[in-house]
A = this chain, B = another copy of it.
Amino acid sequence: MEQSFLAWLRGRQRDLPQVAVGIGDDAAILDWPSSRQLVTSVDTIVDGVDFLLDKHSLASIGHKALAVNLSDMAAMAADPVAVLVAISLPNQQATQVAAGIYEGILATAAEFGVAISGGDITVYDGPLAISITIIGQAAPQKAWLRSGAEPDDAVLVSGSLGGSILQKHLAFTPRVRLAQQLRDSFTIHAAIDISDGLLLDLDRLCAASGCGIELQLDQIPISDDAKTLSLQDGGDPLEHALGDGEDYELILTCPAEQAADILAADLGTPLTQIGVLTSRTGLWSKLPNKLIRLSPRGFVHGG
């Protein structure tokens, strides 16, 4: 199956300037811009954990498999260049499933100008699993790290949070363009994408930077889905916004004096300041007269 499938895939991609030799040989070849670093990561999504094959559309599953990787590029402020896709397919209707997933991958890849530079298909006795490696590029020392944050930085978050399980986890827009705009016009000290929940990922960023954070809980942007989910489960919308995984929004830190300019800029995606970094470590809720320590919660997904 693989040879004919790769031929089909070759025919479905438009030419991209970075591709010197496309898929079909023992490896693909990309032209690499001079003086650029390579930024790379890998993420796997699996049926029953990250999506439900018997419920979600194949194209939406393909979109998610690619979008979680694009979100990592956004968190680094890297420009995505190419992806390699390894799909493990259950025996039933394997070709049909693979084609449906690739429809979603191809559409999202085209939207972000990303080449599909490798494809491996395995048919096996196991659940559908899609593992994508993404390759991006960045100017030297310009990629955002989790470790670059400094005390007194303003902490911003994109979009609104919580309740992603209702639909957003399959249909989110990775914040690649937002990151590119911010990188090109402002100083961002540190960033991380929210994959496991706001508090948990904030805790990771703070730990990597040796900082703590004073959060203003009344400023957390709560999504409509967090409110809907709370009506269903009797929970608190704020708890969903703080703890739910798979928002795939960006947490960003910037010099305090730049926050107002960033928040006033027309970036196409809402940004909200949710707190300030401190030299005192830990997560703290800042109330008028006191600080309350928060524990990093959040759902650690994907094992």
Which residues of chain A have a CB within 8 Å of any CB of chain B?
Answer: 1-2, 20-21, 25-32, 34-44, 46, 48-49, 72-73, 75-76, 78, 82, 84-86, 88, 117-127, 129, 131, 133-136, 138, 140, 143, 145-147, 191-193, 208, 302-303
Contact = CB atoms under 8 A, between A and B. Distances in A.
Contact of A38 (B32, B42, B72, B75): B32
B302 A42 contact: no
A118 B133 CA distance: 9
Contact of A32 (B20, B32, B76, B122): B32
Contacts of A208: 25
Contacts of A303: 1-2, 121-124
Contacts of A46: 88, 122, 124, 126
Please state the number of chain copies in the assembly: 2
Chain A interface helix/strand/loop/mixed: strand
A143 B29 contact: yes
A20 B43 contact: no
B25 A88 contact: no
Contacts of A21: 143, 145
A102 to B, nearest CB: 15
23 contacts: A26-B75, A27-B40, A27-B78, A28-B39, A29-B39, A29-B76, A29-B143, A30-B37, A32-B36, A32-B38, A40-B84, A40-B117, A42-B120, A43-B86, A43-B120, A44-B88, A48-B125, A120-B131, A121-B303, A123-B303, A124-B127, A125-B127, A126-B129
